[in-house]
Amino acid sequence: MTDNSIKISVTVNGQHHELEITPFETLLELLRNRLDLTGTKKCCGEGECGACTVILNGRGVNSCIILAAEADGSEVLTIEGLGEGGKPSALQQAFLDKGAVQCGFCTPGMIMAAHYLLMSNPHPTEEEIREGLSGNLCRCTGYGKIVEAVRAAAEAAGKAAEDER
């Protein structure tokens, strides 16, 4: 490590890490290169496509334009942190069930953006889903199946909450 290295601590998917990073390292590079969390994808590297979306302190962000140093003391959730016991989350399963995954490159970022959308708005309209995912680009699906998957996951979560009452 060089003299200008920076020590940070960050919690990723519930696991605490103490790391030495370089000043211009991005959060995306930290996740992929240091923690081997390669589910988060790099595509444009400029904050334009959403492939690198993660949840940072409860907000959906493009990790390619966040410096790792900015994440010091933060909590990060990545695609690997969804689901439990090796099983996909309901949202991940809905993407599979509705055929919303084709080449899959956009999928982790799309799911994290959808996860953030449903955290902040559990019952989104179709327009709100399209708006919520507007920063995430997909070259394959035409978006219809992605919107359907998010709506199905939201409906299933709403029904599950009603059944618990």
User: What residues make contact with ligand FES under the rule CB under 6 A?
Assistant: 42-45, 47-52, 62, 64, 101-107, 138-141
Give the other-Cβ count within 10 Å of 122's Cβ. Answer: 12
**CA–CA gap between residue 29 and residue 38 (Å, rounded):** 10
103 or 161: CB nearest ligand FES: 103
Q: Please name the residue that has the structure tokens 């919520």.
A: 132
Tokens of residue 56, six digits: 């940072």
Report in angstroms how near the CB of residue 161 gets to ligand FES at its nearest: 30
Report in angstroms how near the CB of residue 73 gets to ligand FES at its nearest: 22
44 or 90: CB nearest ligand FES: 44
8 or 62: CB nearest ligand FES: 62
> 84 near 17, Cβ under 8 Å?
no
Q: What is the Cβ-side half-sphere exposure of residue 98, based on CA atoms within 13 angstroms?
A: 20
Instruction: Return the SS3 of 149.
Output: helix
Report in angstroms how near the CB of residue 82 gets to ligand FES at its nearest: 17
50 or 124: CB nearest ligand FES: 50
**CA–CA gap between residue 135 and residue 132 (Å, rounded):** 8
> 151 near 66, Cβ under 8 Å?
no
Report in angstroms how near the CB of residue 95 gets to ligand FES at its nearest: 10
Report in angstroms how near the CB of residue 77 gets to ligand FES at its nearest: 16
93 or 105: CB nearest ligand FES: 105
Vertex 60, ends 14 and 99: CA angle to 5°?
95
